[in-house]
Chains A and B, each alone.
Chain A
């Protein structure tokens, strides 16, 4: 018996159904920022089903409804944390480093330790694209569009000294300093993005450094800027946009050159996606680079910078002897001993030297 009623106190007046704890929690979630409205409607129905099902099970196990609702909601956590967790997982491209990464690091490291890899830093550095693979092993899809971007402007020296200035004005100032018309690539930035304030103090510094400073200040706002010249106009856009525009599709036919013929091509593609700019890959939630295996061919669609690093990873799995003896034999003019005689020779491009391994160069952009 309710002690309050036993003492004669009036029962509290109740209007309508008992407050619904689950409904209140879902309403609270609706108020949180970050989950797009179009996704929330579906998520709400799904979470309500989850919570009601959980409550039903707890009640079958003997709990009262109110108690079961409280437990079910406590398991989901508070609405703000849930919204953060959802937004971070679904709308962030940040790569999730994994145990897989650690495992593959070990495999690669162990391979180096036992002398399985015999490459030199010099060798890695001097290899151009065409030097890494035979034509039969690496082929590039012909370009499908014209009017490529030119990043040489990033070396342009500019001076800028502003305490607090809107990004829109800063970009205009930079374009004027470079003597170019501006195309702010409006699709890439929202009006709000362009109102962020930045402070800069550079004298005769390359544009690359100025953009890096801007990016550092706007990191928390999620705005990143790079610049290129196209058709004589300066284009400002996020690095990702340029990466997408500059992608090339390359096919690698490497199955017959694998040092360990039992290794799965998928293990190699996983290593590439774990080590080479993991955020970029579509399989990792990124939006720039793709990798897939069809039959025995590995296709990689990525910007040249990423292709070069992916090739380095692939190369770690290839047979050393085959690399050293079958590719990159070139005509070479050789001066004979008898004074001036010139004859044609074929010489290997480079010789494997067992020493440390390094990953080839990084970004050309302002990051």
Chain B
């Protein structure tokens, strides 16, 4: 296939994926966080912001639907815990939902990471060519 044709295929898929690109990135980030420790939604958000050095964040409106979908598909499981501002207080505390990655989720993460690496490797080839061209100019 000619390079121009490869480009066309790429651009077509990039255009198609534009809306959902961030969702897939978020999936990798969330599964990666959960691959290391169980966590609840807000903690995952903070962890993503922290690891990316605040370069990116996951909005709650993206995170909670994603967690629900991952749980529905068996990539993560959940259980509930109780949180008390004052551990000595008799009154019931707030309920908190904790998530844990499953074996299926780890496999999913592996596939996504592998696919992402392929993508990065492919893009690097083009970025290198661009940088060389800029250097010559």
Residues of A at the B interface (CB closer than 8 Å) are 39, 42-43, 45-50, 52-54, 75-77, 81-82, 85-86, 88-90, 96-107, 109-110, 112-113, 264, 266-267, 269-270, 274, 282-283, 285
Give every chain A residue within 8 A of B114 (Cβ-Cβ): 264, 266-267, 270
Give Cα A54 to B9, complex, Å: 43
The reply to whether A45 and B17 form a contact with Cβ atoms under 8 Å apart is no
Given contacts A49-B97, A270-B114, contact A100 B119 (CB under 8 A): yes
Contact with A along B108-126 (1 / 0, CB 8 A): 1011101110111110000
Which of A81, A89, A102, A266 gathers the greatest number of chain B CB atoms within 10 Å?
A: A102
The reply to whether B61 and A85 form a contact with Cβ atoms under 8 Å apart is yes
Residue of chain A at shortest CB distance from B6: A109
The reply to whether A113 and B1 form a contact with Cβ atoms under 8 Å apart is yes
The reply to whether A97 and B107 form a contact with Cβ atoms under 8 Å apart is no
The reply to whether A266 and B61 form a contact with Cβ atoms under 8 Å apart is no
Give every chain B residue within 8 A of A75 (Cβ-Cβ): 59-60
The reply to whether B118 and A107 form a contact with Cβ atoms under 8 Å apart is yes
Give every chain A residue within 8 A of B112 (Cβ-Cβ): 98, 100
Give Cα A110 to B3, complex, Å: 9
For window 30-76 of B, CB contacts with A under 8 Å fall at 40-42, 59-62, 64-66, 68-69, 72-73
Which residue of the partner chain, among A46, A81, A98, contacts B97 with CB atoms under 8 Å? Answer: A46
What 13 new A-B contacts, CB under 8 Å, besides A77-B60, A98-B17, A274-B115? A42-B97, A49-B41, A75-B59, A82-B61, A82-B64, A86-B61, A98-B115, A99-B21, A106-B10, A113-B2, A113-B6, A267-B115, A285-B72
Give every chain A residue within 8 A of B120 (Cβ-Cβ): 103
Task: List 26 A-B residue pairs with CB atoms under 8 Å apart, sorted by A's residue number.
Answer: A39-B68, A43-B68, A46-B97, A50-B42, A85-B61, A85-B65, A86-B64, A88-B65, A89-B66, A90-B68, A97-B13, A97-B16, A98-B112, A100-B112, A102-B119, A103-B119, A103-B121, A105-B9, A106-B10, A107-B118, A109-B1, A266-B110, A266-B111, A267-B115, A270-B115, A285-B72
Which residue of the partner chain, among A105, A270, A285, contacts B69 with CB atoms under 8 Å? Answer: A285
A contact face: mostly helix, strand, loop, or mixed: helix
Given contacts A49-B42, A103-B115, contact A97 B65 (CB under 8 A): no
Residue of chain A at shortest CB distance from B73: A285
Give every chain B residue within 8 A of A282 (Cβ-Cβ): 73
